[in-house]
A and B are shown apart, each in its own frame.
Chain A
Amino acid sequence: MELDLSPEYEAFRQDVNRILTENSHLAPGPEDRGMKHPKRLAWQKFLIENGLTARTIPKEYGGYGAAPDLLKSRIIAEEFARTGIARPMGGQGISMLVPTLLELGTPEQKEAYIRPTLYGEMIWCQGYSEPGAGSDLAAVRTAAVEDGDDFIINGQKIWTSTAKQADMIFCLVRTDPDAKKHEGISYVLFSMETPGIEVRPLVDMTENANFNEVFFTDVRVPQSGIVFEKNKGWQVANATLTHERGMLGDPNATKARFLELVELMKAETLNGERLIDNPLLRDRLLKLQGEVYAMQANGLRVTTASLKRESAGLAGLIIKLQGCELNHQIAGLAIDALGELGILYGEGDHLRSDGSWQWRYMYDLGLIIGGGTAQIQKNIISERGLGMPREPKPAKV
């Protein structure tokens, strides 16, 4: 047990902090709208060139090319959180597709896609879920039929974030309708400009269209877009999903929200008394603090396991379930603490924190469901973590 950083890493932290604070004027702000705003692209380029993102991706593909060092990656993430300076671009292209291509892509695919994706010039969306394939993702039915060197794709995807802005899609399609469920799927890359693709925004309970529906009608795409091998898409998708689950439930983000809640309860008053002086609200706050600290310590444990290239076991498997639930509860307490004013939303007088607590309360519920529902997480925890048997398949009628 040693939580202090060695002098080498402490120096690295100071370096990162210096680069960020000395160049914060280059960072885009909320007024610089649009995923490809010149200021955003320039900032991303600056961060890559200084090793603050795409750090371990080889230079030949546009990354910084440093040796993997999780502790340094962690320090960088902490310094972004600490300084509040605009983070590097995220999104499914950078966080999910790039690692998948590095692992399984052809040299041509790596060459063509990784660099523009990292630099924010090529935006991706993920074509996984379908109306009939949610938790049972392998039930995808969107059909890709061979026609010469091409596929003709017909079907529908749902829950597709950034489909409106995306240049490209990484998509699960059924290439062998006669094979077993998991064995007839391929993982294909193609352009969202292809004729026959229609994107419809899917408005959710937050009143925003955080997701879309995507319809494919006779969409002709080259077969060369297959990643890995034809009909081996399920393995590719699983490689990608590992990267997604790691994104959800970050304990440092949870801690930051908790601290915002503390500030809110210190600043707001009810009948002339600070919210934090109400013993019932304060007790709920302290209850959540115990959970926040536990998740933070759990995160340290998982990081250490990764540093040693060991499996974190249960400590890793529970993060998505516990982290998303905790975020939801933090937002829920903020709303209760604000009481009647907690129901205000959108704009208007008396609105607190821009209505963000209600937004989070709803959006976090979406995250409890998305990326593998809480119930799917519990199956994973009990089967992989506790060695309990799978639910037997129902007998065929």
Chain B
Amino acid sequence: MEFALSEDQRMLQDSISGFLKDNASLDTIRKIADGDADAKAGLDTGLAEMGIMGLAVPEAVGGSGLGLLEACLVQEVLGYTVAPSGFLAATVAANLLAKGQESIASGIADGEKVFGLALTELSSRRDGAGVTADNGRLSGTSLLADVPTGATHVFVADTSGSFHVAGEWSAKPMRTIDRTRTFQELSFDGVTAEASLQPDASTLAVARLLVAADTLGAAQAMIDQAVEYAKERKQFGRVIGSFQAVKHLCAEMAAKLEPARALVWHAAYAMDTNDPEALVMANLAKAHLAEVGTFVAKTATEVHGGMGFTDLLGLHYWFKRIGVNRQLFGSPEQVRQTAAELQGFLAA
């Protein structure tokens, strides 16, 4: 028995983390948030060159064929640096395509295909949104689709829970609190799906687990920044990190987040090994990280005092990353409802 990352897994995470430290500084993130297309393209190209887009794509079609645990480790460091990336969408799409529609995933690894993700309506239908499939022709709208710049395809769920790959759509930006990432309202006007796949409960679980990993990274970054700040900032003649009122806030954040890290690893490993509890764990991880992330986002901001509230420090990018993640692919209450259903807790 061994519950720890392998040497390869640590190296993978360290290499992406090292790249992001150099190439996704707060300065770059600010530029991207302000709509600097060159900054965004530079980051996208760099990440693609690191080879992450094909991480979950089967080796037979040019990918690395790695598991969800590796994907979560990469997503975590993306969250740590609040770097926007098409990695999540590519990984969710590749994960399901690998089960029988491999050939469609060809081209993801080398950047020829860039996938967007339109799954919101799998858990939440509002304002008349929803995509229907009629003999392979897709019609309707999807809200808050995660569509990276330069997307060539969208992986979309229809209202019956089936999935489709679409190559044509029209898009309207949806402005959220998080200006680093682009969300869109997509419309499909009878376009023919390039591929269709049967409903599969694991797809939503994969998306939710990756979001949990993203929040894990973002929350860890907030704790690290809060602890550093508390060790330097002086008031009443001493560093504020020596006041128990401040230390205890930091201890509480760490005490909640550290077990959450183990939960993300465990859920990802369970998904990779088809553990019977895998879907339950992935959903619990999403809901739990949403709660812990929210606590950390608020508390770390408080440790920074007034500076935490300013744009000057940029801490708010992490606060907003976590705030968006909390609702993506279902609010914590919705996700816990899924976990309850999966365990047969609901009345027949």
Are A304 and B231 in contact, with the CB atoms below 8 A? no
Are B251 and A315 in contact, with the CB atoms below 8 A? no
Q: For the complex, is B102 an interface residue (Cβ under 8 Å from A)?
A: no
Q: For the complex, is B252 an interface residue (Cβ under 8 Å from A)?
A: yes
Q: Choose from A276, A322, A389 the contact partner of B255 (Cβ within 8 Å).
A: A322
Q: For the complex, is A291 an interface residue (Cβ under 8 Å from B)?
A: yes
Q: How far is the CB of B87 from chain A (nearest CB, A)?
A: 21
Known contacts A276-B345, A385-B254, A388-B241, A286 near B248 by CB under 8 Å = no
Are B251 and A381 in contact, with the CB atoms below 8 A? yes
Are B284 and A378 in contact, with the CB atoms below 8 A? no
Q: For the complex, is A309 an interface residue (Cβ under 8 Å from B)?
A: no
Beta-carbon nearest neighbor of B290 in chain A: A290
One of B41-49, B157-165, B262-270 at the interface: B262-270
Residues 1-42 of chain A, each 1 if its beta carbon lies under 8 Å from chain B, else 0: 111110001000000000000000000000000000000000
Q: For the complex, is A298 an interface residue (Cβ under 8 Å from B)?
A: yes
Q: Choose from A283, A294, A314, A389 the contact partner of B288 (Cβ within 8 Å).
A: A294
Q: For the complex, is B57 an interface residue (Cβ under 8 Å from A)?
A: no
Within 8 A of B (CB), among A383-397: 383, 385-392
Q: For the complex, is A106 an interface residue (Cβ under 8 Å from B)?
A: no
Q: B235 — which chain A residues lie within 8 A by C-beta? A: none
Known contacts A3-B269, A283-B336, A382 near B5 by CB under 8 Å = no
Within 8 A of A (CB), among B312-348: 333, 336-337, 339-340, 345-347
Q: How far is the CB of B41 from chain A (nearest CB, A)?
A: 35
Q: For the complex, is B209 an interface residue (Cβ under 8 Å from A)?
A: no
Q: By the criterion of a CB under 8 Å from any partner CB, how many residues of chain A are at the interface?
A: 54
Q: B288 — which chain A residues lie within 8 A by C-beta? A: 287, 290-291, 293-294
Known contacts A1-B2, A286-B336, A378-B251, A300 near B262 by CB under 8 Å = yes
Interface of A is mostly: helix
Are B242 and A392 in contact, with the CB atoms below 8 A? yes
Are B258 and A298 in contact, with the CB atoms below 8 A? yes
Within 8 A of B (CB), among A249-270: 262, 266
Instruction: Output the residue of A3, A4, A282 with the most chain B CB within 10 A.
Output: A3
Within 8 A of A (CB), among B207-259: 227, 230-231, 238-239, 241-244, 247-248, 250-252, 254-256, 258-259
Q: B266 — which chain A residues lie within 8 A by C-beta? A: 293, 296-297, 300
Q: A286 — which chain B residues lie within 8 A by C-beta? A: 284, 287, 336-337, 339-340
Are B256 and A322 in contact, with the CB atoms below 8 A? yes
The complex places the Cα of A390 from the Cα of B248 at a distance, in Å, of 12
Q: For the complex, is B143 an interface residue (Cβ under 8 Å from A)?
A: no
Are B336 and A287 in contact, with the CB atoms below 8 A? yes
Are A298 and B251 in contact, with the CB atoms below 8 A? no
Q: Choose from B3, B256, B340, B346 the contact partner of A304 (Cβ within 8 Å).
A: B3
Q: Choose from B254, B258, B273, B285 the contact partner of A290 (Cβ within 8 Å).
A: B285
Q: Choose from B69, B259, B284, B336 the contact partner of A298 (Cβ within 8 Å).
A: B259
The complex places the Cα of A390 from the Cα of B247 at a distance, in Å, of 9
Beta-carbon nearest neighbor of A266 in chain B: B345
Residues 267-307 of chain A, each 1 if its beta carbon lies under 8 Å from chain B, else 0: 00000001011010011011101110111111011011101
Known contacts A1-B4, A301-B3, A388-B227, A294 near B248 by CB under 8 Å = no
Q: For the complex, is B170 an interface residue (Cβ under 8 Å from A)?
A: no
Q: For the complex, is A375 an interface residue (Cβ under 8 Å from B)?
A: yes
Q: Choose from A277, A297, A321, A390 the contact partner of B265 (Cβ within 8 Å).
A: A297
Q: Choose from A9, A296, A389 the contact partner of B242 (Cβ within 8 Å).
A: A389
Are A388 and B231 in contact, with the CB atoms below 8 A? yes
Q: How far is the CB of A152 from chain B (nearest CB, A)?
A: 39
Chain B residues within 8 Å of A, Cβ to Cβ: 1-6, 9, 69, 227, 230-231, 238-239, 241-244, 247-248, 250-252, 254-256, 258-260, 262-263, 265-266, 269, 273, 281, 284-285, 287-288, 291, 333, 336-337, 339-340, 345-347
Task: Offer 16 A-B interface pairs, CB within 8 angstroms, sorted by A.
Answer: A1-B3, A1-B269, A283-B337, A286-B337, A287-B287, A290-B263, A291-B259, A297-B265, A375-B244, A375-B248, A378-B244, A381-B254, A382-B248, A382-B254, A386-B254, A388-B241
Chain A residues within 8 Å of B, Cβ to Cβ: 1-5, 9, 71, 262, 266, 274, 276-277, 279, 282-283, 285-287, 289-291, 293-298, 300-301, 303-305, 307-308, 314-315, 318, 321-322, 375, 377-379, 381-383, 385-392
